[in-house]
Amino acid sequence: MELKPYQQEVITDLARFLDCVQATKRLPDAFHDFWATHPRTPVKPFPGTAIEPYKNTVPGVPHVTIKVPTAGGKTFLAANALRTIFGAFPPDRAKAVVWLVPSVTILEQTLRNLKDPGHPYRQKINTHFAGRVEVYDKAALLQGSGFSASSVQEQVSLVVLSFDSLRARNKEDRKVYQENGNLQSFGSLLGDEEDITLMRVIQALNPVVVVDESHNAESELSVDMLKNLNPAFILDLTATPRKNSNIISFVDALALKKEHMVKLPVIVYNHNDRTEVINSALQLQRNLELQAKQEQKAGGRYIRPIVLFQAQPKTADDNTTFEQLKKKLLDLKIPESHIRIKTASLNELKNEDLASPKCEVRYIITVNALKEGWDAPFAYILASLADKSSAVDVEQILGRVLRQPYVAPHAAPMLNMSYVLTASSKFLETLDKIVVGLNKAGFSARDYKVADPAALAPKPDPLATFVQAPLNFDAPPAPTAADDLADIDVRRITPLAPTTDEAAAPVAVADPLASLPAATGSVQAIAEAALTQQAEFEKTVAASTAGRAAPLPTALQSLVKTYPIKDIFREQAAALVLPQFFWKKPAATLFDSGEGSQAVLLEKEYLLEGFPLGKADTNIKFDGVSAELYRVDLDETKKEATPTFMRIDGDAKERIMAYILDPSRKDSRVKNFTRRILDLIGNLYPIADKEIERYVKRILEDFTDEQFTDFANHEYTYTQKIKDRIRQLSEDYAYKKFRDFLDQDKAFIQPAYTFPLQISPGDTSKDITKSLYEQEGKINGFEERVINEIANLPNIAFWTRNLERGKGFRINGFLNHYPDFIIQTKSGKTLVVETKGDHLDAEQKIKLGATWAQKAGNAYRYFMVYERRVVDGAYKLDDFLNTVREI
């Protein structure tokens, strides 16, 4: 399981922040510089905004937050982040991680997944740390089971604990702070002056701390708990950061939808009464299951849609309403094996694997017992049975129906959405609660759609239109205190259609409405509205990323200074659509990726599929390597202790060399050095980690003892040479594949990129005539000279400074090339211009630019411009200006 593009951006943000820490030596300065120079969102932290100035809650310790919506893969992100964090520390420090979770449910789930060698979380950590990983719960630590002073030096030690276990609220939790003879091996680490306790051992290991659902750990007590761990780094993960969070990365809901992580939009439908809610929930579930069966028959994977019935008991421990609702369902001939109750005091889901085809559960009755730590992507429908006079409070469990099964799109559009069914006379207030629920899950108001617009219409004054209803002696009796659901009339609920394969077989997946029985009433309306809303939502997702990076997260949009296109150029700019390279991505089956055989923007990752790096040429010249050995330590010259890079010499360097070159490790020397190089190289997506590992091992297998010693002294320079060689090899491979694709008509060019109506460049340049936008992005000395000369030519209509790194136009292919300027002539030609200092090489960009211009047609030109240097395929400045005058 590899990182999704938005997840890779999160890891990149983390690496950028660490670079800023290393450069500035002070955490507040590092945080400020990180955001002020962020390539995608250059903003300055300011009180009262989504990004406030750095809050030093744990003095001297980097403490940052990643904001990721529910179903965004927070745990997988944390698993990938560990290598980036530990890469900033010296190789001989113990790699200890304290992984904190807020509840017993999440504790059990996290331990189970991290201990499972086949789970993607554990597989990723094993890959990053050569399989030297051990996971401990509190009991194993207290018993010293596989946990010793020697083991923690040899491996990554993942300690998974709940918040409460460190707060010592009961006798069991206090054992963490009591003397423990099972931990005597740590005596040399702690010294003999005090008792050896588990907490003192953890403190001495100076761990990296991962805080899952960190919004639960913001109290003064929780902050003291974090301080008490003596952490080296704290990484918070949450969908809803609190005020004292230092957020370094935002993930937007559209990014999750684009990667098929979530079932959006949420379709909301308000009914007249609770009987209709139950009827719609049962019928909608049955029809979703029919469509799921049809998909499975056509090659899709198993899905069994589940309804969450949210009841409203008098107290959290009052099971009366749950039992009443279960009886109503049984009266409808629903098998008891299809129904489970989950409350604070009754958990019938404890031994259920809800994803298993052997499981029969289709209906779960709860209140808020599923609010966290419950992972069941088959949950599709949240049916609230609140009193009609109440605003429906779904905020705690709405996130439970958002996760997309198998993280893949489904051929039946209705299986790509989730549903909330209510019966509330206070529907507008209910919608407010739904927005709060979405916010708690990290989403926004744009991510739900109302399926019945009439529900939003003002209700007439009941006194002004009162008419006595005819007496109905067959109506059910009014609800009594003994029966909170007596108003639910099972006689009005349509009997369920069969779900056998025979019943599903004649219906085509392409017609999602065909499987709906004619008498389902509101279910037909829900389906029709849902399909319309889904189509519109998909258009929004597609438009948001067409030809450029995903839009800024909602929380940041108000912070970014934007500049519009000048009115004089608006019409002309709107008519321009710049060509980009596309690829008709093949699909193995209808269900593999959602793109089928549609044309998609050609990405380098497509060109590197099957790249055999492990077999590539390993001839690298390491001559002339200079000493560049660094470590992270505390810079005592600053007012606050902050991790930073400092040179290693004397005893410190000898200790690192002794660790790596230990004679007892001689047989595994290649393995040890390979792991260290992989740590330093980091992620080279999309090249597989295994291919990089094979390549590095082949390089080291030919090393002499002298080279290993030299590497230990100059590891950063050696690693950089290896990294540069890998990039060169990958670019050469991608370029060849790119040419093959073009020759074989697998890749083609078509109009794609349009100028955004406004830009947010961060730093701006001084005014130069004929600029497309009110302000243009920052321009350096040679760039300014070039564009000033161009802008003053009489045949130029307008120009713009093309923004980099995902914000502007890119020539895509075997690399992503963001040229400096886009220029429009009065004759209708579009000039794409890249400037280069005379000391810089740009052979690959020249090749890509020339290919783009050739394929784009006569209306487009590409120029690489040097001041005086003569380069094949490029122009000297004077020659360039003379050429442009005549266009």
| Contacts with 840 (C-beta within 8 Å, 6 or more apart), sequence order | none
pLDDT band at residue 646 using 50, 70 and 90 as cut-offs: very low
Range in 353-357, 406-410, 710-714 with the lowest mean pLDDT: 710-714
Neighbour count for residue 297 (Cβ, 10 Å): 12
Q: Are 309 and 385 in contact (CB under 8 A)?
A: yes
The 3-state secondary structure of 356-390, one letter per residue: CCCCCCCEEEECCCCCCCCCCCCEEEEEECCCCCC
Range in 221-225, 248-252, 304-308, 364-368 with the lowest mean pLDDT: 221-225
**Confidence at residue 597, expressed as pLDDT on a 0 to 100 scale:** 53
The class that CATH gives domain 259-457+489-545 is alpha beta
pLDDT band at residue 97 using 50, 70 and 90 as cut-offs: very high
**Confidence at residue 840, expressed as pLDDT on a 0 to 100 scale:** 73
Strand 306-310 relative to strand 563-564, pairing: unpaired
pLDDT tens sequence across 667-677: 577 887 887 78
Q: Are 242 and 218 in contact (CB under 8 A)?
A: yes
Instruction: Give the mean pLDDT of 322-339.
Output: 90
Q: How far apart are CA 228 and CA 220, in angstroms?
A: 12
Q: How far apart are CA 43 and CA 561, in angstroms?
A: 8
220 versus 827: which is more confidently predicted?
827
Token look-up 């009591």 returns 178
pLDDT band at residue 221 using 50, 70 and 90 as cut-offs: low
Token look-up 């939003």 returns 456
Distance (Å) of CA 623 to CA 240, 665, 707, 794: 51, 26, 10, 53
Nearest to residue 199, comparing CAs of 136, 157, 141, 137?
Answer: 141
pLDDT tens sequence across 129-181: 888 899 999 999 999 888 988 889 889 999 999 888 876 666 666 788 888 88
pLDDT reading at 683 higher than 80:
no
pLDDT reading at 48 higher than 90:
no
Q: How far apart are CA 794 and CA 881, in angstroms?
A: 12
Give the CB-side neighbour count of residue 286, counting CA atoms within 13 A. Answer: 21
pLDDT band at residue 423 using 50, 70 and 90 as cut-offs: confident
Write out the H or E segment, with its range, that includes residue 310.
strand 306-310
| Contacts with 541 (C-beta within 8 Å, 6 or more apart), sequence order | 254, 257, 258
3-state secondary structure of 270: strand
pLDDT tens sequence across 732-787: 999 999 999 999 989 999 999 999 988 888 788 889 999 999 999 989 889 999 99
188 versus 197: which is more confidently predicted?
197
pLDDT reading at 296 higher than 50:
yes
Q: How far apart are CA 4 and CA 259, in angstroms?
A: 7
**Confidence at residue 314, expressed as pLDDT on a 0 to 100 scale:** 56
Q: How far apart are CA 108 and CA 476, in angstroms?
A: 45
| Contacts with 467 (C-beta within 8 Å, 6 or more apart), sequence order | none
Q: Are 609 and 586 in contact (CB under 8 A)?
A: no
pLDDT band at residue 625 using 50, 70 and 90 as cut-offs: low
Give the pair of three-digit tokens for residue 757. Answer: 């109506």
Distance (Å) of CA 714 to CA 561, 620, 702: 44, 15, 18
For domain 754-885, say whether CATH 3.40.1130 is its number.
Answer: no
pLDDT reading at 450 higher than 60:
yes
**Confidence at residue 479, expressed as pLDDT on a 0 to 100 scale:** 45
| Contacts with 782 (C-beta within 8 Å, 6 or more apart), sequence order | 835, 837, 867
pLDDT reading at 592 higher than 60:
no
Give the pair of three-digit tokens for residue 324. Answer: 């009443």
**Phi then psi for 159, rounded to 5 degrees?**
-105, 110
Q: How far apart are CA 644 and CA 494, in angstroms?
A: 68
394 versus 63: which is more confidently predicted?
63
Distance (Å) of CA 468 to CA 198, 272, 273, 463, 472: 74, 19, 19, 11, 12
Strand 578-584 relative to strand 599-601, pairing: antiparallel
Q: Are 816 and 846 in contact (CB under 8 A)?
A: no
Q: How far apart are CA 728 and CA 733, in angstroms?
A: 9
Instruction: Give the mean pLDDT of 278-304.
Output: 92
Write out the H or E segment, with its range, that includes residue 800.
strand 796-801
**Percent residues over pLDDT 90 in the chain:** 34
**For residue 857, with 0-12 CB atoms within 10 Å meaning exposed, 13-18 middle and 19 or more buried, which class applies?**
exposed
Instruction: Give the mean pLDDT of 593-612.
Output: 75
Token look-up 């905020």 returns 395
Burial 473-511 (b: 16+ CB within 10 A, else e): eeeeeeeeeebbbebbbbeebbeebebeeeebeebebee
285 versus 600: which is more confidently predicted?
285
Instruction: Provide CATH 3.40.50 ranges for the chain.
Output: 57-82+91-246, 259-457+489-545
Spell out where 32-155 has E strands: 63-67, 95-101, 133-136
The class that CATH gives domain 57-82+91-246 is alpha beta
Q: Are 682 and 727 in contact (CB under 8 A)?
A: no
pLDDT tens sequence across 341-352: 988 778 888 888
Instruction: Give the mean pLDDT of 249-268.
Output: 87
Give the pair of three-digit tokens for residue 710. Answer: 């030299």
Q: Is the peptide bond before 686 cis (omega within 30 degrees of 0)?
A: yes
**Confidence at residue 486, expressed as pLDDT on a 0 to 100 scale:** 73
Instruction: Give the mean pLDDT of 114-127.
Output: 92
**Confidence at residue 628, expressed as pLDDT on a 0 to 100 scale:** 42
557 versus 499: which is more confidently predicted?
557
Kindly report the average pLDDT of the chain as a whole number: 81
Write out the H or E segment, with its range, that includes residue 584.
strand 578-584
Q: How far apart are CA 104 and CA 98, in angstroms?
A: 16
3-state secondary structure of 19: helix
Provide the whole-model pTM.
Answer: 0.75
**Confidence at residue 257, expressed as pLDDT on a 0 to 100 scale:** 85
pLDDT band at residue 2 using 50, 70 and 90 as cut-offs: confident
Angle at the Cα of 864 from the Cα atoms of 862 and 866, rounded to 5 degrees: 155
Token look-up 């900033």 returns 88
Q: What does the DSSP assignment read for 19-31?
A: HHHHHHSSHHHHH
Q: How far apart are CA 547 and CA 334, in angstroms?
A: 50
Instruction: Provide CATH 3.40.1350 ranges for the chain.
Output: 754-885
Q: Are 229 and 200 in contact (CB under 8 A)?
A: no
Greatest Cα pair distance, the chain, in angstroms, is 100
pLDDT band at residue 92 using 50, 70 and 90 as cut-offs: confident
**Confidence at residue 391, expressed as pLDDT on a 0 to 100 scale:** 64
Q: How far apart are CA 726 and CA 684, in angstroms?
A: 9
- How far the first Cα of the chain sits from its last, in Å, is 51
Write out the H or E segment, with its range, that includes residue 578.
strand 578-584
pLDDT band at residue 244 using 50, 70 and 90 as cut-offs: confident
**Confidence at residue 587, expressed as pLDDT on a 0 to 100 scale:** 54
Q: Are 147 and 28 in contact (CB under 8 A)?
A: no
Q: How far apart are CA 384 and CA 269, in angstroms?
A: 11
**Confidence at residue 466, expressed as pLDDT on a 0 to 100 scale:** 37
Neighbour count for residue 316 (Cβ, 10 Å): 12
